[in-house]
């Protein structure tokens, strides 16, 4: 039994089957792993899904890491929940990605996938209920598990429950596309928590607006903005639970500066940096690091770079755009097509402007964190222009690692925008011409100004490292006692 529990789709460890049939455990990283390290492993448990055959085999053999419980959910149920709902519906809603003339379509097939999503969330809720001490704190993570708080509240009303959304939250206008009963169930699930966390007040406000906009005849939620309170609250009620209150807070996530710098200065990164320097020469660099995710806006970034070279010919031969594009969700056709479009557009720019000794765009379409860290160190300009993003840690990581100091071109769609906007060059993510001009300004920025901005950006980026981010949420949850 545990007094602090974390639930997320992906856990801190994965298993890969070796040539001899043995299972090798591979530890993951990220803010949650770092944050949970602040809590004694004897008192904590991480509940996650078995994602691949290696994970499922580990569960069947009874192999596991201390403090981790993997759930072997039926692969068909998992696929329908993860790909069919979480990544194809909820992700598209929260990031406003739908091609409205064609999508979404909520039909009988969608209803079957939603049943799988419900079953997937139910498996987590039951596991958490079984593993939690009396009055334990349970911190549920992200849109994959939006129904868990409500389900867990029914099973274990004694628990302290929080849910943190790492993405943006859908606007009330966009949520109206969803069938009323599904929207009500989604909010019902979230409002089972004592605490709801978002990266920014903008996303928190969007959630409260959705609660306020929902027809009160459903009996699900009623929104309220308490005057003078330092936090925003939402009253919730359900016939089977009674009345209660859910607090809604913003918890911006930063980076661990010391850890990131240590990772960026390992010998393997030094070697990658030497290779990049050989490719780039003495030219300026514009660096971006993203997953090939539709919301990251990579195509408009490339279009802005092409416009920079068109309208500002003085930069031809003097700058290289280093783009790391990690393949993402390649089991979805729309993502495969997007990844192909990124590569094709980069090739077009190179064909239009490249010379025998200058390649304007160098794209790496592979998951290579070492190369990304090397690019961070080399960055003169960081381009982060998502159309809509929960936070975007790349905008915080590059200023921390950049060796010569970098100018940050940052879109208003990034969650990091409010924290970093004073020292960034901010752009409308849809305005290619404005982004091109911002790139010119960034490349032309005097070294003294660039150094001063980078120092302030790095200070802001490291103000709320993962351990503090996690403990702040845990402390806020325990205030409910």
Secondary structure string (H, E, C) spanning 385-416? CCCCECCCCHHHHHHHHCCCCCEEEEECCECC
> Is residue 154's pLDDT more than 80?
yes
Q: Are 320 and 286 in contact (CB under 8 A)?
A: yes
Question: Minimal CA–CA distance to 462: which of 413, 405, 419, 408?
Answer: 419
Encoding tokens for residue 277? 């320097």
- The answer to which of 58-62, 197-201, 340-344, 426-430 has the lowest mean pLDDT is 58-62
Q: How many CB atoms lie within 10 A of CB 37?
A: 14
Are 372 and 289 in contact by the 8 Å Cβ rule? The answer is yes
Return the pLDDT at 24: 81
Residue 397, CA distances (Å) to 58, 250, 292, 416, 466 in order? 34, 20, 18, 11, 13
Torsion 31-417-299-369 (CA) sign: negative
Residues 134-143: pLDDT tens digits? 999 999 999 9
> If we measure between CA atoms, which residue out of 119, 123, 116, 127 comes closest to residue 46?
127
CA distance 135 to 140: 15
Query: pLDDT grade, residue 362 (50/70/90)?
Result: very high
Residue 218 predicted with pLDDT over 50 = no
Containing 372, the helix (H) or strand (E) segment is helix 369-378
pLDDT at residue 20, as a whole number? 74
Task: List residues bridging with 229 in a β-sheet.
Answer: none
pLDDT of res. 212:
85
Distance set, CA 66 to CA 44, 46, 52, 62, 134 (Å): 10, 9, 20, 12, 21
Contacts 24+ apart (CB under 8 A), 220-225: 220/184, 220/187, 220/188, 220/191, 221/187, 221/188, 221/191
Chain CA centroid to CA 127, Å: 25
Percent residues over pLDDT 90 in the chain? 75
The pair of three-digit structure tokens given for residue 90, joined into one six-digit string? 């909820």
- Identify which of 62-71, 193-202, 225-234 has the greatest average pLDDT: 193-202
What's the pTM value of the predicted model, to 2 decimals? 0.90
DSSP 3-state of 312 = coil
| Nearest partner of 474 among 139, 198, 131, judged by Cα | 139
Question: Which pair of structure tokens corresponds to residue 125?
Answer: 């809720």
Mean pLDDT of the chain, nearest integer: 89
CA 459 to chain centre: 21
214-228, 272-286, 360-374: least confident range: 214-228
Report the SS3 class of residue 235.
strand
What integer pLDDT is reported at residue 27 of this predicted model?
A: 75
The token pair at 316 is: 């031809």
Give the span between the Cα atoms of 169 and 390, in whole angstroms.
8
H helix and E strand count, the chain: 19, 17
Alpha helix segments (H runs only) across 214-332? 257-264, 267-280, 298-311
State the sign of the Cα–Cα–Cα–Cα dihedral 213, 194, 127, 30. positive
d(CA 133, CA 124): 16
Do 410 and 424 meet the contact criterion of CB atoms below 8 Å apart?
yes
Count Cα atoms within 13 angstroms, Cβ side, for 169: 27
Note the pLDDT of residue 101. Answer: 94
Beta bridge partners of 285: 320
- Euclidean distance between the first and the last CA atom of the chain, given in angstroms as a whole number: 20
DSSP 381: E
Q: Omega before 380 cis (within 30°)?
A: no
Q: pLDDT tens digits for 104-123? A: 999 999 999 999 999 999 99
Q: What is the largest CA-CA distance in the chain?
A: 72
> Residue 79: which residues within 8 A CB-CB, separation 6 or more?
none
Cα gap 132→1, rounded to integer Å:
5
């Amino acid at each position: 039994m545990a007094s602090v529990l974390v639930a997320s789709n992906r856990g801190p460890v994965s298993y890969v089957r070796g040539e001899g049939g043995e299972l090798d455990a591979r530890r993951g990283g990220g803010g949650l792993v770092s944050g949970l390290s602040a809590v004694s492993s004897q008192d904590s448990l991480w509940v996650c899904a078995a994602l691949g055959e290696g994970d499922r085999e580990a569960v069947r053999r009874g192999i596991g890491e201390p403090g981790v419980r993997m759930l072997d959910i039926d692969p068909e149920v998992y696929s329908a929940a993860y790909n069919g709902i979480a990544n194809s519906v909820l992700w598209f809603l929260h990031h406003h990605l739908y091609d409205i003339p064609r999508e979404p379509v909520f039909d009988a097939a969608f209803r079957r996938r939603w049943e799988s999503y419900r079953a997937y969330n139910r498996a987590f809720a039951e596991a958490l209920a079984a593993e939690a001490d009396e009055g334990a704190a349970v911190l549920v993570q992200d849109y994959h598990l939006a129904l868990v708080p409500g389900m867990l509240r029914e099973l274990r009303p004694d628990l302290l429950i929080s849910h943190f959304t790492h993405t943006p939250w859908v606007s009330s206008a966009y949520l109206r596309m969803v069938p009323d009963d599904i929207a009500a169930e989604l909010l019902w699930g979230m409002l089972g928590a004592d605490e709801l966390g978002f990266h920014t007040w903008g996303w928190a406000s969007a959630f409260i607006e959705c609660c306020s906009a929902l027809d009160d005849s459903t009996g699900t939620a009623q929104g309220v903005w308490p005057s003078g309170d330092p936090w925003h609250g939402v009253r919730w009620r359900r016939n089977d639970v009674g009345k209660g209150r859910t607090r809604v807070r913003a918890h911006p996530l930063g980076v661990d500066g010391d850890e990131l710098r240590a990772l960026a200065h390992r010998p393997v990164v030094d070697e990658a940096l030497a290779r990049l320097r050989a490719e780039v020469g003495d030219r300026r660099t514009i660096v971006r690091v993203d997953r090939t995710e539709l919301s990251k806006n990579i195509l408009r970034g490339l279009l802005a770079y092409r416009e920079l070279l068109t309208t500002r010919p003085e930069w031809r031969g003097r700058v290289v755009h280093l783009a790391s594009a990690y393949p993402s969700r390649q089991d979805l056709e729309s993502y495969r097509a997007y990844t192909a479009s990124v590569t094709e557009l980069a090739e077009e720019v190179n064909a239009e402007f490249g010379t025998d000794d200058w390649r304007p765009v160098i794209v790496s379409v592979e998951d290579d964190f070492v190369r990304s860290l090397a690019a961070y160190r080399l960055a003169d300009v960081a381009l982060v222009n998502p159309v809509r993003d929960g936070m975007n840690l790349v905008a915080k990581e590059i200023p921390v690692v950049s060796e010569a100091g970098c100018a940050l071109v940052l879109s208003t769609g990034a969650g990091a925008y409010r924290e970093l906007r004073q020292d960034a060059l901010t752009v409308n993510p849809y305005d290619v011409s404005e982004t091109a001009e911002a790139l010119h300004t960034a490349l032309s920025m005097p070294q003294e100004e660039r150094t001063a901005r980078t120092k302030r950006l790095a200070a802001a980026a490291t103000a709320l490292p993962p351990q503090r981010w996690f403990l702040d949420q845990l402390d806020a949850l325990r205030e409910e006692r």
